[in-house]
Structure formats: C-alpha cells, structure tokens
C-alpha cells in the first residue's frame, strides 16, 4: 500500500514521507513525531511523571529501560518514549516496575488532581478512536 505521511514538527518544519518506502514501525514513529497539536487521545496519565522522575535521577530513556529489564520487564527505549509521550497504554504491573526502579511510591506517578469531566470525555473519545 502506497501513501504519504505528512505533518509539521514542533520546530515548524513540514515533513512528508512516501510510505511505500518505509516499514511499519518507522511509519508509526513518523506519525508520532509529526503530531502538530497536543495529544487528542492520551493513553496514560503517568507519562509526564515518569519523565520528571527519570530526569531527576539524570537517567536517559535507555537507562530507565535497562533498569526495568533488570527487574524482569522486557522493555525498550522506544516503549519508554511512548509511555512518556502518553501514546502507549501502561499496565498495572508495568506501573509497579517503573515505580520500583525509580524508587518512588506508585501513587507518585499519578497526577495530584484530575479534571474528571475532561478525563471522562478523553477516555470515551479515546475508546471510540481506538476501536
């Protein structure tokens, strides 16, 4: 199947790729990179906190992935990036591993306050979007 992936990077540069020359993983990565507006359908609430705590430890995304691997979770740097970018859903055991390797309580990964009306609308629209 041939087509194009078009978008605008945060720096304002317009990008366009012919998908017939790009494999599936790269297509997904390019779509993530070319999102011009805030994420309309976030898949998790912990991404920003994971990034904040990781940076406090002065770890790279690869460092966090390595620590998670040593704790028994087979994860890559790309998955860490997707979690932090809120484009990947995160399971309960995964949240527990992340909290364990960051040496923080699980509850610290969740936002202090949630606008429940907005959260419910996002959740419902996200479910329709991914069905």
In a domain, 40, yes or no: no
What residues pair up with 5 in beta bridges, in sequence order?
Answer: 17
Q: Are residues 53 and 28 in the same domain?
A: no
Domain range for 17 is 4-33
Q: Are residues 93 and 121 in the same domain?
A: yes
Q: Residue 36: pLDDT band by 50, 70, 90 thresholds?
A: very low
pLDDT digits (tens, 9 = 90+) for 46-73: 999 999 999 999 999 999 999 999 999 9
* Single pTM value for the model: 0.63
pLDDT exceeds 90 at position 83:
yes
Which residues does 67 contact at the CB level (< 8 Å), separation at least 6? 59, 101
Q: Are residues 19 and 54 in the same domain?
A: no
pLDDT exceeds 80 at position 108:
yes
In a domain, 38, yes or no: no
What's the domain count of the chain? 2
Q: Are residues 26 and 52 in the same domain?
A: no
Share of the chain above pLDDT 70, in %: 56
Tell me the mean pLDDT in the region 6-34: 59
In a domain, 42, yes or no: no
Query: What is the 3-class SS of the chain, one letter each residue?
Result: CCCEEEEECCCCCEEEEEHHHCCHHHHHHHHHHCCCCCCCCCCCCCHHHHHHHHHHCCCCHHHHHHHHHHCCCCCCHHHHHHHHCCCCCCCHHHHHHHHHHHCCCHHHHCCCCCCHHHHHHHHHHHHHHHC
Which residues does 60 contact at the CB level (< 8 Å), separation at least 6? 77
Q: Are residues 117 and 54 in the same domain?
A: yes
Tell me the mean pLDDT in the region 101-111: 96
Rounded to the nearest integer, the mean pLDDT of the chain is 79
């Amino acid at each position: 199947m041939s087509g194009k992936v078009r978008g605008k990077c945060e720096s304002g540069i317009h990008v366009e790729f012919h998908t017939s020359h790009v494999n599936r993983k790269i297509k997904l990565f390019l779509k993530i990179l070319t999102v011009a507006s805030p994420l309309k359908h976030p898949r998790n609430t912990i991404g920003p906190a994971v990034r904040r705590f990781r940076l406090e430890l002065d770890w790279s995304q690869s460092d966090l992935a390595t620590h998670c691997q040593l704790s028994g979770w087979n994860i890559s740097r790309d998955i860490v990036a997707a979690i932090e970018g809120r484009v990947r859903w995160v399971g309960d055991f995964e949240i527990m591993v992340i909290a364990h390797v960051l040496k923080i309580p699980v509850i610290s990964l969740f936002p202090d306050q949630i606008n429940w009306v907005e959260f419910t609308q996002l959740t419902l629209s996200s479910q329709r979007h991914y069905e």
